[in-house]
Amino acid sequence: MSHTAHIRSHRKPRNRNASTIAMRAGVAGGVLSLAAAGASATANAAEPVTQTLELPTLTADLAQQVAQSAEATQQAAANYQLQAERDAAAAKAAKQAKADLAEAKKKAAEAKRKAEAERKTAEAASRSTARATLTAASSSASTSTSTATGSVAAVINFVKAQVGKAYVSGATGPSAYDCSGLVQTAFKQVSINLPRVSQDQSMQGTQVSLSNLQPGDILYWGSRGSAYHVAVYVGDGMFVGAQNPSTGVVERPLSYDPPTGAVRVL
């Protein structure tokens, strides 16, 4: 037993009032609360967290939009198919048209060759007939150069005197002529004024048949009114004309270059 156990303490007892006790109790409670909260947080951290996502509900409007989108896609596919069919048909039609055009060109070329051959045959026959007609006419003509008188003789004598002179386009003498210049100047010798060009000269006087020619008649080549060459018939189946730059003014038989027609102004 301690020797001091029976000795009373000399310290004064503490005077603990109610407020001090309450404060200490509050502090202790707070500490306990914190401890409890920490324990609870630790427990919560250990548990797995599960989150639930709510998906949107398929409403009637959304379903209608989906249906419309599907219909539009189907329509687009149908349009593409239709366009492809049209393109194929157009390509086929173009190919057929090309083949038809080639065939038409071939037939046209063949027809042209045939027509050209027929034209040449007809032209040769016409020339042959014309030569025969002119030969017969010249052999049976009652009026020859030697029996021509008056104005006819003057025209014939003039053109024969020009044989050998040069051919110059637009010339009317006295050293050179073109075809219509020679005819115009020849008829001026007997005071007959003819137009300057062959087209107009072929429209003068009266048209006569090549089988009924007389000296002094104007011969023309080409259609009447659009003749491209003229000369003077001098009888005996001969004509005088300014032919071209190579030959100049020459006297030639009708068979050398058969004329198309003739007109008579004397």
Kindly give the confidence (pLDDT) of every residue in the chain, 266 residues in length, as a single tens digit, with 9 standing for 90 and above: 445 445 454 455 555 555 554 455 454 455 445 444 554 544 454 455 555 555 555 567 787 887 788 888 888 888 888 898 888 888 988 889 889 888 888 888 888 888 888 877 776 666 666 555 555 555 544 445 556 789 999 999 999 999 999 999 999 999 999 999 999 999 999 999 999 999 999 999 999 999 999 999 999 999 999 999 999 999 999 999 999 999 999 999 999 999 999 999 99
Closest CA to 179 of 220, 231, 222: 231
Q: Which residues pair with 218 in a beta bridge?
A: 232, 263
- Angle 152-158-164 (CA atoms, 0-180°, nearest 5)? 140
Residue carrying the six token digits 């004598």: 157
CA distance 66 to 73: 11
Determine the pLDDT at residue 223.
95
Task: For the chain, give every domain's residue range.
Answer: 141-264
Determine the pLDDT at residue 234.
97
**CB-CB contact of 259 with 231 (8 Å):** yes
Full-model pTM: 0.51
What is the H or E stretch that residue 5 is in?
A: none
Determine the pLDDT at residue 210.
96
Determine the pLDDT at residue 21.
47
Determine the pLDDT at residue 76.
86
CA distance 170 to 182: 10
Q: 169: phi > 0 → left, psi -120 to 50 → alpha, else beta; which?
A: beta
Beta carbons within 10 angstroms of residue 145's beta carbon: 15
Fold of 141-264: endopeptidase fold (from Nostoc punctiforme) (3.90.1720)
Q: What is the CA radius of gyration of the chain?
A: 65
Determine the pLDDT at residue 57.
57
Determine the pLDDT at residue 34.
46
